[in-house]
A and B are shown apart, each in its own frame.
Chain A
Amino acid sequence: MNDLLEGLIAETPTAIKSVYQIGYHHCKWAILNQDGTDSDAQDVFQQAVFSLLERVRQPDFEIGNLKAYLFQSCRYIWLKEKKERRTTQLVEQFSTDIPDEDETGLKAIKESRIEAIYKALDQLEENCRTLLDLTYFEKQRDKEIAAMMKYKPNFVRVKRKRCLDHLRQLIH
């Protein structure tokens, strides 16, 4: 487990693959039993993995049981999602069951800014997502970005500012 923890802190693909193998099917079961689909299960699990990568950095983080932790995380995320979709009254009943501490002894999940950004990215228009990917993931210069996206070089900075402003609005 220590190797896995180190891998998650370092964010290695191997560690993330292990997380999928350990926790995905149990998470899927939880979601399918709460009116979810396979597609919902995959989306929720990605969010759960993202949250896990955030949590492992906290100094008081401990995993008693990773499978149970992921299960609770998926359940929490899915019930929040359902509440937001306002599907049925049963959601109200189940969402009040979310304990402050789950059986693995972890504290209630509080969303960090990075998690809020992660969710908000999907709500940006495609041009913004592409521009931010090129800037922050591929680390391209504005000149190269302008050539790829067929913008004038000076417009890249303007467009990036607009995308960042929109992102800030979404997370607030």
Chain B
Amino acid sequence: MTEGDDPKIERFLQGKMSDTEKQAFQEDMGSDAALADEVSFRSDLAKAIRRKKLISQVHAEFKADDFFKKEETKTAKTVPLRASNNKFLLRMAAAVVLLILAGSFWYANTSYSNAQLAQIPFDNIRALGLTEGNRGGDPVELTRLKEATVELDQGNFAASLGQLSSVPDSDPNYAVSQLYRGYALFQMQDYDEAIPILRGIIAGETDNIVKQKAEWVLLNCLLEQNDLAVEFSRLLNEILANKGHQFYRQSLTLKEKLDSGWRILVF
């Protein structure tokens, strides 16, 4: 097929070719698959446009007659007010109650589920100073950490893991890299990998900023896994006992929601 075929295709589709021309063109189509395909495509296009116009015209006529606003016509029935109508009213009442219950379950499920409660934006975990050389450390590792921060900001959690895993444990920013690793794994829903990392930070870290962030991420990992037993309770209570904890307010809100009637209703 060539550019010169374009006017021929249009004349063919518009029925403006003579019989001789048409025959020659059909022979060309027989030997040129691309030409035949193009003609077929434009023919389908012409049909689609024609049908669309036709349906739109009918639609417009019905719209002008207010057809779409009318209800489906049915034979009118006179329903006498008798005792048998109580059954109908009872059924309606039952349907309304069921709807309210279903709505309540839906609301509780979407607002109080573990997934809804376990929400951590990266800003809560990152803090000024942690990646800006305050701890010192190897400039190469610092660069890796900063690149990983960029990936985490953009939600590229898997991509960040590569840089974070390569920071050695001798580097002053090792705990921060592990914290971010735990956070990235949390976001990737790989809680089994995240939890031991976060426990390690909590057990070994003396820096309260990093430790408290690790506690918060660990709490949310356990929440997502629906593991609300000993470790979760202990951790939550420890945070709530420390009003100076970075995540004291969030923990308070979490506890209120866990204890709320909506959650008890569904969970």
Residues of A within 8 A of B (CB): 11, 13, 16-17, 20, 24-26, 28-29, 38, 41-42, 46, 49-50, 53, 113-115, 117-118, 121, 132-133, 135-137, 139, 142, 157, 160-161, 164, 167-168
Q: List 28 A-B contacts (CB under 8 A).
A: A11-B50, A16-B54, A17-B61, A20-B59, A24-B67, A25-B70, A25-B72, A38-B68, A49-B55, A50-B51, A113-B41, A113-B44, A114-B44, A114-B47, A114-B48, A117-B48, A118-B48, A121-B48, A121-B52, A133-B49, A135-B10, A136-B46, A142-B10, A157-B7, A161-B6, A164-B41, A164-B42, A167-B45
In the complex, what residues of B have CB within 8 A of residue A132's CB? 45, 49
**Interface size range of chain B in the complex:** 20 to 34
Q: A42 touching B59 by the CB < 8 A rule?
A: yes
Majority secondary structure of chain A interface residues (helix, strand, loop or mixed) = helix
In the complex, what residues of B have CB within 8 A of residue A20's CB? 58-59, 62, 67
B123 part of interface (Cβ distance < 8 Å): no
Q: B50 touching A137 by the CB < 8 A rule?
A: yes
Q: A168 touching B7 by the CB < 8 A rule?
A: no
In the complex, what residues of A have CB within 8 A of residue B86's CB? none
In the complex, what residues of B have CB within 8 A of residue A46's CB? 55-56, 59
Bound-state CA distance A115–B41 (Å) is 12
Nearest to B45 among chain A residues (CB) is A117
Bound-state CA distance A50–B7 (Å) is 29
In the complex, what residues of A have CB within 8 A of residue B189's CB? none
Q: What's the least CB distance linking A111 to chain B, in Å? A: 12
Contacts A25-B71, A46-B56 hold; do A136 and B42 have CB atoms under 8 A apart? yes
Q: What's the least CB distance linking A60 to chain B, in Å? A: 20
Q: B54 touching A11 by the CB < 8 A rule?
A: yes
Q: What's the least CB distance linking B243 to chain A, in Å? A: 39
In the complex, what residues of B have CB within 8 A of residue A53's CB? 51, 55
B14 part of interface (Cβ distance < 8 Å): yes
In the complex, what residues of B have CB within 8 A of residue A49's CB? 55
B57 part of interface (Cβ distance < 8 Å): yes
In the complex, what residues of B have CB within 8 A of residue A160's CB? 6
Q: What's the least CB distance linking A23 to chain B, in Å? A: 10
Nearest to B48 among chain A residues (CB) is A117
Q: What's the least CB distance linking B38 to chain A, in Å? A: 9
In the complex, what residues of A have CB within 8 A of residue B71's CB? 25
Bound-state CA distance A69–B58 (Å) is 20
User: Which of B13, B67, B70 contacts A136 (CB under 8 A)?
Assistant: B13
Q: A26 touching B72 by the CB < 8 A rule?
A: yes
Q: Mark B54-89, 1 if CB is under 8 A from A, else 0.
A: 111111011100011111100000000000000000
Bound-state CA distance A49–B59 (Å) is 11
Bound-state CA distance A41–B68 (Å) is 9
> What are the 9 A-B residue pairs with the smallest beta carbon separation, nearest first?
A25-B72, A136-B46, A117-B48, A16-B58, A118-B48, A139-B14, A114-B44, A137-B49, A114-B48
In the complex, what residues of A have CB within 8 A of residue B46's CB? 136-137
Within 8 A of A (CB), among B79-117: none
